[in-house]
Amino acid sequence: MNAFAWTGSILALLTYFPLWVQIGRKSIKQNLLTWALWAILDIIVMTSIIAEKGNYLLPVAYTIGSAVTVFVIFKSGNKSSWSWFETLIITLVVTCVVIWYTSGSKAATVASAMAMVIASVPQTVDAWKKPHDMPVLVYFSCFIANCLSVAGGKNWSIEERFYPVVVTIICFVIFVISARKFWLKPEPTTT
């Protein structure tokens, strides 16, 4: 692994710290179940890239970040809830495992990256509807971290650059949509 891959992965992990602090202070609530399922998707993509001997540092960082987030949510006492979204994510997890079993780790890398795209749609919609609630700096930092990981890939192969490119696009889209808050009028507050 080179300096780009290491720097991007460290930056990706650092972007979780503000979230952990906010959850710990109970200033935001997160669903334990949702994060646990996201962590499973992160584990699938990480292990499939490791199996292919690819550019694995970014998914390792995201797996650690998700796992610690699950722990922090659990310690904060936030309740879990089940909705259509958790059903969707568990369906994606099962689909990725089946694809891995039937088609191998390279196909699992593609499937799990696409599952991340699908799982990010509600966040993207939230960014569009409520840009003032979005942590723009976090998405920008993730975008930069992912760009560094793309630069750290050895070649243009699935195991080296597919996942970082996919998450770069996701973060860029959410960042751009969220950044609209700087040009929109603030939402009225109700008291």
pTM of the model: 0.85
pLDDT the model gives residue 187: 63
Residue type, 169: I
Kindly report the three-state secondary structure assignment for every residue of 99-110.
HHHHHCHHHHHH
CA distance 39 to 63: 6
pLDDT the model gives residue 190: 60
Kindly report the three-state secondary structure assignment for every residue of the chain.
CCHHHHHHHHHHHHCCHHHHHHHHCCCCCCCHHHHHHHHHHHHHHHHHHHHCCCCCHHHHHHHHHHHHHHHHHHHHCCCCCCCHHHHHHHHHHHHHHHHHHHHCHHHHHHHHHHHHHHHHHHHHHHHHHCHHHCCHHHHHHHHHHHHHHHHCCCCCCHHHHHHHHHHHHHHHHHHHHHHHHHCCCCCCCCC
- pLDDT of 96 higher than 80: yes
Residue type, 69: T
- Locate 48 and state its tokens: 């499939």
Sign of the dihedral defined by the CA atoms of residues 139, 60, 3, 155, in that order:
negative
pLDDT the model gives residue 119: 87
Sign of the dihedral defined by the CA atoms of residues 6, 64, 167, 77, in that order:
negative
Rounded mean pLDDT, 58-68: 94
Rounded mean pLDDT, 115-126: 88
- Locate 178 and state its tokens: 């969220």
- pLDDT of 123 higher than 90: no
User: In this predicted model, which residue has the larger pLDDT, 184 or 151?
Assistant: 151
